[in-house]
Amino acid sequence: MSALTLHYDVPGDDFTRAGEASSDIKNKLKQMGISPDVIRNVAIATYEGEINMVIHANGGTIDAAIDAESITLTIKDTGGGIPDVELAMQEGYTTAQEHIRALGFGAGMGLPNMKKYTDEFNITSEVGKGTEVIMKVYLSK
Amino acid sequence: MINLLKQTEKYDSFFHSIRLDRELCRGCINCLKRCPTEAIRVRKGKSRIKKEYCIDCAACIRVCPHHAKKATFDLLDSMADYEYKIALPPPELYAQFNNLEEKSLVLNALLSFGFDDVYEVAAAAELVSEITRKLLKDEKTRLPVITSACPSVMRLIRVKFPNLVENISPVVSPGEMAANAAVRRAMLRTRLPREKIGVFLISPCPAKVTDVYAPLGVKKSQIDKAVALSDIYPKLLPLMKEIAASGRDNELPEEINKAGRIGVSWGGHGGEAGGLLTDKYLAVDGIENVIKALEDLEDSKFKDLEFIELNACSGGCVGGVLAVENPYMAKVKLNILRKYLPVSGTRIDEAVPSYAYHDEKIEFQPVYQLGETLAESIGIMKTVDELIKKFPGLDCGCCGAPTCRAHAEDAARGLASEKDCIHILRKYLNKSGGLTEYEN
């Protein structure tokens, strides 16, 4: 079975559209009969990633690949990068500005949640170049 | 107008009370485009409802300019089938009348009309509110609890939101609660066997009619017949005038007229949540808004909520298609009526009766799944993506599907042809020389 691939360009700084890509991925997974738990995990992880890119990186891309074993999510931006990835992975750590937090975003749970809801999580980031997160959610546990 | 549900029909879990009058249907795209679950296709010039997708929300009834989409319900004549007849008037019924300051007038009119007993749905709603308040305090409860009172919302969650099915409240709807309590009262009072007692729900919408015949959450509804609010409304008007003129209005037994403000408020949007005495609730009305809210809830975007009230109809149950009054005006009238009522007129004296809870699990139904297996679904999805590129993306509905994507899915599954798209057909005819005069 060859994988199904989905690609999304996420525009930056537009909160009204933030979440469109993760919502589309979620609805396509529902049409494929993926188990509800897996859908939930994928939806939360991609939504967090999408929001992160909108807040911090002026947008980016999301790619999803679905095959018989797993769903691979690649979330990539060319934003400012993360100086201290270890610190950014801590729950509650945030660099979001006040006006973003006033909107209910930027609670410092983005990256931790992405890790928590996926089976494999890899992040590479370079200051000035951007960030790439690759996550996998297994279809059966 | 024929509005009687056919008794021979099989009431499976995808039974619906919304029907098409084929004579009146012109095959236009109004219902097609407005159906929130994409349940409608136009085939051979007539609208068709895909029953697995339909949630009885009545959006199609609202928009059909030819009145071809119809709500079906039981006729009042069916009262003759029972020895002892009970009316279950919902709070939105009170909101249909001008200058109503006492709901006793409506309740009395129902007795005059021929019912032997009346049990206010609003009174039962107060019991539902009380049980739900306890439920929210129980730490075993999965929060937020989603209302089980709107049958369309339950049907929507059942086919679209697998992760939210377990958040649906385990408490029965106020109508069902009222029916159970009313039947027990009638059997004690009359000693009649159950089948001689007829319980009549006065319904504001087709979804509640459907839920009587094919209930979700309960194995069998204790409501026997669902009659239309719009059917009984003109019958009650002259009786109410008569009662008001004769001054008999105050003779109503106390147990009939007992719902207070909390119960009556259920008739309008926000009333159910308001009765829970918590600020941590969300109340959403209108089916499109409901879908958006459920999407956001599913993505865990809403934090710290205890309860979610969802009404498929704008304005809440006063906005049902079988209601007569403008829903916003109806809400004003409910507010006026509320002023003279105690906060709550009903409460649970002893243990919560077992009939207050669902006795059947609501299961997710993956009706939108493209293929039988993941591999097949992926294959179909790829074909859909290829087809989509060919279609113009106008979502014009001329092919009989609501969107180009829906049509691509139908075509990929072999349920429709690519050439049902008039834009593709034109290109095809151009190529074969069939449209030379109109070439652009």
Q: Which residue has the tokens 């109109």?
A: B438
Determine which of A22, A29, A31 to mutate to test the interface with B (most B C-beta atoms within 10 Å).
A31
User: CB-based contact (8 Å) between B162 and chain A?
Assistant: yes
Residue B377 is nearest to which of A22, A33, A47, comparing CB atoms?
A33
CATH top class, domain B374-438: mainly alpha
Beta bridge partners of B46: B43
pLDDT tens-digit series, residues B234-281 = 999 999 999 999 988 777 888 899 999 999 999 999 999 999 999 999
ipTM value for the complex: 0.85
Tell me how close the Cα of A122 comes to any Cα of chain B, in angstroms.
22
Residue A4 is nearest to which of B366, B369, B382, comparing CB atoms?
B382
Tell me the C-alpha distance between A103 and A107, whole Å.
10
pLDDT tens-digit series, residues B125-148 = 999 999 999 999 999 999 999 999
Residue A28 is nearest to which of B366, B375, B381, comparing CB atoms?
B381
Token pair belonging to B159: 């086919």
Tell me the C-alpha distance between B161 and B434, whole Å.
47
Contacts with A28 from chain B: Cβ below 8 Å: 381
User: CB-based contact (8 Å) between B382 and chain A?
Assistant: yes
**Residue A103 contacts by C-beta under 8 Å, 6 or more apart in sequence?**
A15
Does this model's pTM top 0.90?
yes
Q: Could you say which of 3.30.565.10, 3.20.20.150, 3.20.20.70, 3.10.440.10 is the CATH number of the domain covering A4-138?
A: 3.30.565.10
Task: Specify whether the CB–CB gap between A45 and A137 falls below 8 A.
Answer: yes
Kindly indicate the confidence band of residue B348, based on its pLDDT and cuts at 50, 70 and 90: confident
Nearest to B212 by CA among B144, A3, B204, B220: B220
What are the residue ranges spanned by the domains of chain A?
A: 4-138
DSSP chain A: -PPEEEEEEEETT-TTTTTHHHHHHHHHHHHTT--HHHHHHHHHHHHHHHHHHHHHSSEEEEEEEE-SSEEEEEEEE-SS--S-HHHHTSTT-----HHHHHTT---S-HHHHHHHT-SEEEEEEETTTEEEEEEEEES--
Tell me the C-alpha distance between A135 and A21, whole Å.
16
pLDDT at B8 over 60: no
pLDDT at B4 over 60: no
What are the residue ranges spanned by the domains of chain B?
A: 18-71, 76-356, 374-438
Task: Compute the residue count for chain B.
Answer: 440
User: CB-based contact (8 Å) between B245 and chain A?
Assistant: no
Tell me the C-alpha distance between B84 and B3, whole Å.
23
Q: What is the CATH number of domain B18-71?
A: 3.30.70.20
Nearest to A43 by CA among A113, A124, A132, A140: A113
Given this chain, do its domains B18-71 and B374-438 carry the same CATH topology?
no
